[in-house]
């Protein structure tokens, strides 16, 4: 037997028992007369002891030759330690070894396999199998597993069935580029990997499956921003005979269930906010509501007083940074530089200090007297000791910039509490979004999303103002999931494609299968998909999703361990009928 117990299992109650343990050597300490070895497996660490006068000297000699990450199987007696270690659950005992088998040796690992590692990101990825030996990474994968199990438990309980959909499909338009796979048997033709199983899950509703889910890989060939992976996992769901309210309730239920089961947090009913309100109050469609600091628009008070920056602006808007009136010149300069960073793009920052003595000091004193500033302060619910921060300019851009500043102030003031969980539904997204580059409308969610019935008539003349039956779940300022009630009527779907600039032929060619299915009795349906990797990270209160994925890719989309993507042989290429440029040939 290679083991009778795990390395995390033994306690003082096991004293006197003869046990066999197997695992990796975390550490070996040679104290002359005594050799200690910390033996690690997935479940924990147990100390082994080899002691002169007690242990056979041959065994002690053998123990001295053992290095980090060797794989051992040992037999011995559980004994009470002289000096206990209250940092680990097995810290009261140790194993007095009587037999030792080296199951395998190990090279010295390229980084330390401990809680805090000295390994850089790429090195850790290259030796991911060593990185995963670290408890910190392993625990994240264990959490991921638990999340999967709990998602399945909840959805199965709600009558959902998990159905697998194909990975070799044809392009689905979710707004990103497809990864494509050449077909050998159909030379010159390509499959695409799904950006999501969107059309398939809708077809399953036409097929009468009623409630579908799948924990599924999705693929998007986007430029990688930090914490985006080209392949990622969704909890993908669809329901038939539902309205928006049904979908929201079902998945609010799932989210509450997960937080309760996994973190023992009881979430109250989720707040709801319209897209429009989110943009006006927070400058973002995924506001972090762990804190307030809502926007106040000041156009009526600030314009027409001779300050050209305000007078020429679309929007003058500010936030109240409570308790910050004491900010120094240096601190204010830092905030100004923050908003002027190219990625934020404000031209400047106006501040108003509401001093403790009731007076005001601002960067626009020349244009606004104490009386005027007092009116601003009232509108922004400020009290003595507060600091008003104001931006002006084009609407969208100014709101974006103030959103960044709000988040920055939230951070500085410690208002974004890692342990708080504040979920909200963002509703009533616009159906369409104007794209400056291509000079046409795009579907904000995707082309299968239905317009609100009362807005359908605007599809011709007032497209920009059509609202969709679409919703996002946002938790702590992060988009956890999003979905919509779908179009299930062929005519409306065709109209949608036309609105998006598809010709009849293009629409038929790409989505004829779906529109065709709608002609055979498609039920009303809708659904949602959650970013599973991100949900796992959120559940752990972490920002990075990388360690919740066993084998992630780096920022250039490379798998550092298997060294992929890679060239393929000319034979493989020839078989696929693909010719590369001369200088790309392998």
> Residue numbers of the site for ligand ASP (CB under 6 A)?
174, 196, 198, 482-484, 527-529
Closest distance to ligand ASP from the beta carbon of 528 (Å): 5
Nearer residue to ligand ASP within complex by CB, 26 or 196: 196
Closest distance to ligand ASP from the beta carbon of 151 (Å): 15
Q: Report how far residue 53's alpha carbon sits from residue 57's, in angstroms, rounded to the nearest whole number.
A: 8
What residues have CB less than 8 Å from 563, skipping those under 6 apart? Answer: none
Q: Kindly report each contact of residues 63-66 with a partner whose C-beta sits within 8 Å and lies 24 or more positions away, as own/partner.
A: 63/28, 63/35, 63/37, 63/97, 63/100, 64/30, 64/35, 66/25, 66/28, 66/37, 66/102
Nearer residue to ligand ASP within complex by CB, 214 or 362: 214
Nearer residue to ligand ASP within complex by CB, 281 or 534: 534
Nearer residue to ligand ASP within complex by CB, 352 or 475: 475
Closest distance to ligand ASP from the beta carbon of 483 (Å): 4
Q: Report how far residue 586's alpha carbon sits from residue 572's, in angstroms, rounded to the nearest whole number.
A: 11
Q: Report how far residue 154's alpha carbon sits from residue 393's, in angstroms, rounded to the nearest whole number.
A: 47
Closest distance to ligand ASP from the beta carbon of 526 (Å): 8
The structure tokens listed for 171 are 């392009």
Closest distance to ligand ASP from the beta carbon of 489 (Å): 17
Closest distance to ligand ASP from the beta carbon of 236 (Å): 7
Nearer residue to ligand ASP within complex by CB, 158 or 261: 158
Closest distance to ligand ASP from the beta carbon of 234 (Å): 6
- Indicate the SS3 state at residue 475: strand
**Residue 305: other Cβ atoms inside 10 A:** 14
Per the listing, tokens 């973190």 go with: 263
Closest distance to ligand ASP from the beta carbon of 282 (Å): 22
Q: Report how far residue 218's alpha carbon sits from residue 331's, in angstroms, rounded to the nearest whole number.
A: 44
Nearer residue to ligand ASP within complex by CB, 410 or 483: 483
Per the listing, tokens 């499956």 go with: 209
Burial-class residue 71 by CB neighbours within 10 Å (0-12, 13-18, 19+): middle
Q: Report how far residue 287's alpha carbon sits from residue 476's, in angstroms, rounded to the nearest whole number.
A: 7
Nearer residue to ligand ASP within complex by CB, 216 or 407: 216
Nearest to 200 by CA among 187, 212, 191, 192: 212
What residues have CB less than 8 Å from 31, skipping those under 6 apart? Answer: none
Closest distance to ligand ASP from the beta carbon of 533 (Å): 13
Nearer residue to ligand ASP within complex by CB, 230 or 527: 527
Per the listing, tokens 């104007």 go with: 434
Nearer residue to ligand ASP within complex by CB, 196 or 284: 196
């Amino acid at each position: 037997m290679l083991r009778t117990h795990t390395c995390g299992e033994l306690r003082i109650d096991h004293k006197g028992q003869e046990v066999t343990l197997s695992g990796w050597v975390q550490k070996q300490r040679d104290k002359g007369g005594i050799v200690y070895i910390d033996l690690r497996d997935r479940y924990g660490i147990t100390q082994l002891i080899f002691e002169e006068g007690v242990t056979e000297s041959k065994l002690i000699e053998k123990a001295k030759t053992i290095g980090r990450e060797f794989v051992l199987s040992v037999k011995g007696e559980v004994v009470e330690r002289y000096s206990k270690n209250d940092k680990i659950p097995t810290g009261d005992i140790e194993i007095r070894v009587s037999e030792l088998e080296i199951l395998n040796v190990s090279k010295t690992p390229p980084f330390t396999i401990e809680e805090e590692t000295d390994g850089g990101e790429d090195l850790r990825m290259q030796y991911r199998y060593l990185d995963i030996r670290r408890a910190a990474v392993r625990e994240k994968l264990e959490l991921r597993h638990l999340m999967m199990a709990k998602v399945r438990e909840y959805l199965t309980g709600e009558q959902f069935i998990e159905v697998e959909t194909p990975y070799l499909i044809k392009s689905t338009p979710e707004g990103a580029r497809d990864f494509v796979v050449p077909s050998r048997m159909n030379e010159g033709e390509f499959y695409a990997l799904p950006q999501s199983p969107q059309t398939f899950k809708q077809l399953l509703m036409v097929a009468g499956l009623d409630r579908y889910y799948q924990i599924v890989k999705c693929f998007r060939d986007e430029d990688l921003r930090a914490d985006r992976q080209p392949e990622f996992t969704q909890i993908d769901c669809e329901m038939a005979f539902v309205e928006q309210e049904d979908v929201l309730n079902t998945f609010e239920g799932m989210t509450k269930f997960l937080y309760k089961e996994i973190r023992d947090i009881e979430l109250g009913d989720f707040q709801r906010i319209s897209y429009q309100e989110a943009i006006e109050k927070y400058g973002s469609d995924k506001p972090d509501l762990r804190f307030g600091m809502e926007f106040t628009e000041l156009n009526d008070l600030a314009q027409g007083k001779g300050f050209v920056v305000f007078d020429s602006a679309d929007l003058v808007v500010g936030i109240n940074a409570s308790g910050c009136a004491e900010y120094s010149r240096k601190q204010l300069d830092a905030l100004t530089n923050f908003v002027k960073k190219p990625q934020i793009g404000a031209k400047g920052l106006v501040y108003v200090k509401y001093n403790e003595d009731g007076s005001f000091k601002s960067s626009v004193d020349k244009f606004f007297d104490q009386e005027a500033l007092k009116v601003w302060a009232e509108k922004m619910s400020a009290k003595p000791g507060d600091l008003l921060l104001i931006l002006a300019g084009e609407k969208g851009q100014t709101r974006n910039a103030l959103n960044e500043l709000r988040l920055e102030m939230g951070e500085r003031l410690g208002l974004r509490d890692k342990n708080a969980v504040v979920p909200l539904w963002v509703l009533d997204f616009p159906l369409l979004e104007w794209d400056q580059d291509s000079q046409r409308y795009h579907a904000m969610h995707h082309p299968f999303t239905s317009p609100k019935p009362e807005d359908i008539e605007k599809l011709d003349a007032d497209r920009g103002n059509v609202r969709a039956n679409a919703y996002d779940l946002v938790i702590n300022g992060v988009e956890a999931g999003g979905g919509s009630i779908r179009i299930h009527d062929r005519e409306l779907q065709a109209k949608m494609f036309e609105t998006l600039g598809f010709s009849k032929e293009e629409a038929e060619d790409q989505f004829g299968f779906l529109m065709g299915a709608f002609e055979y009795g498609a039920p009303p349906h809708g659904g949602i998909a959650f970013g599973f990797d991100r949900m796992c990270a959120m559940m752990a209160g972490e920002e990075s999703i990388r360690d919740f994925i066993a084998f992630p890719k780096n920022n250039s989309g490379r798998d550092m361990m298997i060294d992929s993507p890679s060239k393929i042989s000319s034979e493989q290429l020839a078989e696929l009928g693909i010719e590369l440029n001369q200088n790309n040939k392998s």
